[in-house]
Amino acid sequence: MLGNVSLSIFYLYRELIFQIMKKLPNFLVYLIFFSSLEIVAQPCYTSQIITTPITTSKGFKAITIISSNNITTGNEVNFQAGNSIQFNPGFQAGGTNKVFTAYIGDCNYDIRLVELFAKSLNDTLVGKDVGFSFAICQNDKYMIGNSGGQKARAIDIGGTKPFTTNTKMHIASMTKSLSTMLLLKILDIKNISLDNNIDPYLPSYWPRGINISQITFRQLLTHKSGIIGSGSYCNNGSYSENVWSGLKSLINKGISNTGGYCYQNANFGLLRVLIPSLMGHTFTGNETTDANQTEVLFLQYLQSYIFNTVNVNNVQPDNPNNDITYTYPYPYDGTTGWNQGNFKVTMGGYGIYLTSFEAAKIYGNALSSFNSSILSSSQSQEMLNGGLGCYRIYDGQNTYYYHDGWWYLLTSPPKGIRSIWMKFPNNITCVLFVNALKNQQFPFYNGNITGFLYNSYKSAENLLNGTATARKQYINLIYDDPNPH
Shared-domain flag, residues 102 and 151: no
- Which CATH number is 152's domain given? 3.40.710.10
Q: Which of 85, 107, 129 is the last residue of a domain?
A: 107
Helix, strand or coil for residue 138?
Answer: strand
Shared-domain flag, residues 231 and 278: yes
Model pLDDT for residues 154-174, shown as the tens digit of each residue: 999 999 999 999 999 999 999
The region, left, alpha or beta by phi > 0 then psi within -120 to 50, assigned to residue 384 is: alpha
Q: Which residue has the higher pLDDT, 42 or 351?
A: 351
Residue 103 to residues 9, 43, 341, 472, Cα–Cα distance (Å): 14, 8, 47, 37
pLDDT of 39 above 90: no
Tell me, what's the pLDDT at 464? 78
Distance CA 1, CA 425 (A): 40
Model pLDDT for residues 290-308, shown as the tens digit of each residue: 999 999 999 999 999 999 9
Model pLDDT for residues 377-425, shown as the tens digit of each residue: 999 999 999 999 999 999 999 999 999 999 999 999 999 999 999 999 9
Stated as kind and residue range, the H or E segment containing 227 is: none
Q: Helix H segments across 324-376?
A: 356-366
Tell me, what's the pLDDT at 86? 58
Residue 369 to residues 41, 114, 426, Cα–Cα distance (Å): 19, 18, 11
Tell me, what's the pLDDT at 139? 84
Tell me, what's the pLDDT at 351? 98
Model pLDDT for residues 86-133, shown as the tens digit of each residue: 555 555 554 443 333 333 333 344 567 888 899 999 999 999 999 999
Q: Which residue has the higher pLDDT, 54 or 477?
A: 477
Tell me, what's the pLDDT at 155? 98
Q: Which residue has the higher pLDDT, 10 or 219?
A: 219
pLDDT of 310 above 90: yes
Shared-domain flag, residues 88 and 30: yes
Task: Name the domain count of the chain.
Answer: 2
What are phi and psi for residue 432, nearest 5 degrees? -135, 135
Residue 3 · residue 65 · CB < 8 Å: yes
pLDDT of 4 above 90: no
Residue 209 · residue 202 · CB < 8 Å: no
- Lowest-confidence region among 38-42, 144-148, 225-229: 38-42
Distance CA 227, CA 485 (A): 16
User: Going by C-beta distance under 8 Å and a sequence separation of 6 or more, which residues neighbour residue 85?
Assistant: 5, 29, 30, 31, 32, 59, 60, 61, 62, 79
Residue 185 · residue 177 · CB < 8 Å: no
Average pLDDT of span 364-371: 87
Shared-domain flag, residues 81 and 123: no
Tell me, what's the pLDDT at 87? 55
Tell me, what's the pLDDT at 190? 98
pLDDT of 315 above 80: yes
User: Going by C-beta distance under 8 Å and a sequence separation of 6 or more, which residues neighbour residue 257?
Assistant: 226, 228
pLDDT of 278 above 90: yes
Distance CA 217, CA 206 (A): 18
Residue 251 · residue 266 · CB < 8 Å: no
Residue 185 · residue 178 · CB < 8 Å: no
Shared-domain flag, residues 161 and 36: no
Shared-domain flag, residues 191 and 103: no
Q: Which of 87, 107, 127 is the last residue of a domain?
A: 107
Tell me, what's the pLDDT at 418? 98
Shared-domain flag, residues 151 and 22: no
Q: Which of 65, 92, 107 is the last residue of a domain?
A: 107
Distance CA 450, CA 445 (A): 9
Q: Which long-range contacts (CB under 8 A, 24 or more apart) does 319-322 make?
A: 319/168, 319/353, 320/168, 320/353
Average pLDDT, the chain: 82
Shared-domain flag, residues 303 and 217: yes
Provide the pLDDT confidence category of residue 370 given band limits of 50, 70 and 90. Answer: confident
pLDDT of 274 above 50: yes
Residue range(s) defining the domain that contains residue 123: 110-485
What are phi and psi for residue 411, nearest 5 degrees? -80, -175
Distance CA 59, CA 29 (A): 10
Shared-domain flag, residues 126 and 32: no
Tell me, what's the pLDDT at 111? 63
Shared-domain flag, residues 324 and 340: yes
Percent with pLDDT over 90 in the chain: 68
Tell me which residue of 449, 457, 433, 468 sits closest to 116, measured CA to CA. Answer: 457
Shared-domain flag, residues 160 and 171: yes
Distance CA 24, CA 431 (A): 37
Shared-domain flag, residues 94 and 142: no
